[in-house]
């Protein structure tokens, strides 16, 4: 039976997403203390990263050409992209292997919506928005200490590059999560991805040319995701190609993750069989 008056997709999906948001808010507000404590945990870890850099700069003037406040801005950018990613996607992606193990994936596949949309956007982590805001605060503070005011074009470029970084994080982790269709127990792989975040806050110039640098620039572009947005704001971009590179890799990662997703679905035989 076809539903009466099916809404067009451009109206159906925003409505659907709005109700997913409502669910998330209700869920989070059930455990208010826990919600606040998680924000404290994230703040502590962000503080730890900043503390590390400030200890290092107590012993040096610059690292690979980056001054103290430039690196603070870089750490801020890394945390900002990571927290926005956490807000929209992280919980959802860690749950994919659980969906497969428990058979809930079969149920999602039967719903009359795009399954990738549903499993990617199901839950929203509200605390992460607050953490993203603190990261933005640190970025603004660092800019003021540097006495720099980014132009409108630079701010726009920054936003675009953060979006590209978000797409990269999302696509790569989604790609890793779909491995669960083959091994079921992919939790470890997903958590391993968390380690990758850590190198995003290291100034790009610190990585000498070689395998490590190439892999983490072109294959898993962790060196780019925070460094490029930071350089846009600082006006230290070495060539406009860096922007195109990050945007291009973001697009490529998304396409690869979509192809892997389709392949996984074709391979998937359901939970009970």
Residues at the contact surface with other proteins, assessed by CB under 8 A: 31, 34, 37-38, 40-41, 44-45, 48, 51-52, 55-56, 58-64, 185, 188-189, 191-192, 195-196, 198-199, 202-203, 205-208, 212
CB of 48 to other proteins, least distance (A): 6
Q: How far is the CB of 67 from other proteins (least distance, A)?
A: 11
Q: Measured from the CB atom, is 34 or 155 closer to other proteins? A: 34
Query: Euclidean distance between the first and final Cα of the chain, in Å?
Result: 28
Q: For residues 14 and 192, which CB has a smaller minimum distance to other proteins in the complex? A: 192
Minimum distance, C-beta of residue 268 to other proteins, in the bound complex (Å)? 22
Least separation in angstroms between CB 258 and other proteins: 25
Instruction: Give the CB-side neighbour count of residue 198, counting CA atoms within 13 A.
Output: 9
Residue closer to other proteins (CB basis): 35 or 141 = 35
Q: Which is nearer to other proteins, 64 or 259 (CB)?
A: 64
Least distance (Å) between residue 94 CB and other proteins: 14
Q: Nearer Cβ to other proteins, position 188 or 235?
A: 188
**Between 191 and 241, whose beta carbon lies closer to other proteins?**
191
Whole-number minimum distance, CB 231 to other proteins, in Å? 17
Radius of gyration of the chain (CA): 20
- Closest alpha carbon to 53 in 79, 85, 29, 35: 79
- Give whichever of 113 and 219 is closer to other proteins, judged by the CB atom: 219
Which residues 6+ apart lie within 8 Å of 173 measured at CB?
89, 90, 93, 190, 193
Taking the complex as a whole, how short is the minimal distance between the CB of residue 49 and other proteins, in angstroms?
9
């Amino acid at each position: 039976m076809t539903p009466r008056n099916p809404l067009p997709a451009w109206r159906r999906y925003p409505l659907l997403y709005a109700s997913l948001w409502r669910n998330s808010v209700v869920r989070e507000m059930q455990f208010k203390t826990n919600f606040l404590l998680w924000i404290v945990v994230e703040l502590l870890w962000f503080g730890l990263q900043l503390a590390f850099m400030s200890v290092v700069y107590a012993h040096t003037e610059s690292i690979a050409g980056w001054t103290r406040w430039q690196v603070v801005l870089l750490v801020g950018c890394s945390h900002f992209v990571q927290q926005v990613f956490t807000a929209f996607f992280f919980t959802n992606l860690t749950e994919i292997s659980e969906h497969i193990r428990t058979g809930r994936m079969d149920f999602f596949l039967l719903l009359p919506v795009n399954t990738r949309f549903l499993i990617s956007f199901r839950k929203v982590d509200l605390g992460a928005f607050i953490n993203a805001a603190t990261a933005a605060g640190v970025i603004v503070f660092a800019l003021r200490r540097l006495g720099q005011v980014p132009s409108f074009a630079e701010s726009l470029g920054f936003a675009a590059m953060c979006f590209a970084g978000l797409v990269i994080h999302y696509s790569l982790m989604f790609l890793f999560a779909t491995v669960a269709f083959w091994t079921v127990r992919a939790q470890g792989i997903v958590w391993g991805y968390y380690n990758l975040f850590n190198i995003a806050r290291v100034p790009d110039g610190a990585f000498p040319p070689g395998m490590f640098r190439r892999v983490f620039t072109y294959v898993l572009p962790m060196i780019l995701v925070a460094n490029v947005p930071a350089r846009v704001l600082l006006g230290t971009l070495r060539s406009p190609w860096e922007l195109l590179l990050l945007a291009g890799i973001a697009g490529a990662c998304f396409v690869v993750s979509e192809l892997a997703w389709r392949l996984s679905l074709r391979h998937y035989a359901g939970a009970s069989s």
